[in-house]
Structures are given as structure tokens and as C-alpha cells.
Homo-oligomer: A and B are copies of this chain.
């Protein structure tokens, strides 16, 4: 019987060699090798994390902060390199999500369908 950890290492390897991971890595390097792009993306990420934390802690987000975030988002969307990276990240996040669903299927069958975040059962 195949050992789960052995197969997990196979999956890691498959993911590492996948086109999607290669594309992600390439976009990531492209963004980070250009100081201007790197700075813009870093600023955007910082403000995103900052706003999310404020919301989670129930802190007030000022109109100035919202305006700054919107301005940065517009800049980021106009930057082709960053847009490509964000699309690749979204794709990878979808794949990881899919993999988790596949792997935990035996548990879902045992415990019954979970209520999803959108409130629907699957």
C-alpha cells in the first residue's frame, strides 16, 4: 500500500514542475527584479494586509486609507507585470484549494458534507 507521505512528496514534485507553478515563479521574479515594480507591489500588499487587519479587529478604516488603496489598486492593475503575477497567484490558490478538496474527500465522506462558506452544501 502506498505510503501517504511518499505520495505527498510526489505531489509536491508534480506541483513544483507544473506549468502553473513555473509561470507563478517567473512572474514573481519578474516583479521582484524590477525595483519600481517591486516597490509598487510591496506597497499594495502592505496596504491590503493593513486594511484586512483593521477590519478583523473592528477598527475604523479612514476615507483617506480607502482612497490610497484605490489609487494603488489602479496603479497595480495598469502594471502588466504585476497583473500577470496576481493572475498566476489566483490560479495557484485555486489549484491548492482543489488539491485540498481532493485529498480530504475521505474525511468529508466520513463526517458528511460540510457547510461551505457560501452557505451551500456540496
Contacts and interface: CB of A to CB of B under 8 A. Distances in A.
A15 B7 CA distance: 9
Q: Which of A98, A103, A104, A110 has the most CB of B within 10 A?
A: A103
Q: Which of A3, A8, A24, A103 has the most CB of B within 10 A?
A: A8
A84 interface: no
A71 interface: no
Interface in A41-97: 92, 95-96
B11 A98 contact: no
Given A96-B104, A102-B9, A103-B96, A14 B4 contact: yes
B95 A107 contact: no
Q: Kindly report how many copies of this chain are found in the complex they form together.
A: 2
Contacts of A98: 5, 8
Nearest to A92: B107
Interface string A1-24: 111111111111111111011001
Given A2-B10, A21-B106, 18 more contacts: A2-B14, A2-B17, A3-B14, A4-B11, A4-B18, A5-B99, A6-B14, A7-B11, A7-B14, A8-B98, A8-B99, A8-B102, A10-B10, A11-B103, A15-B103, A24-B110, A96-B107, A99-B103
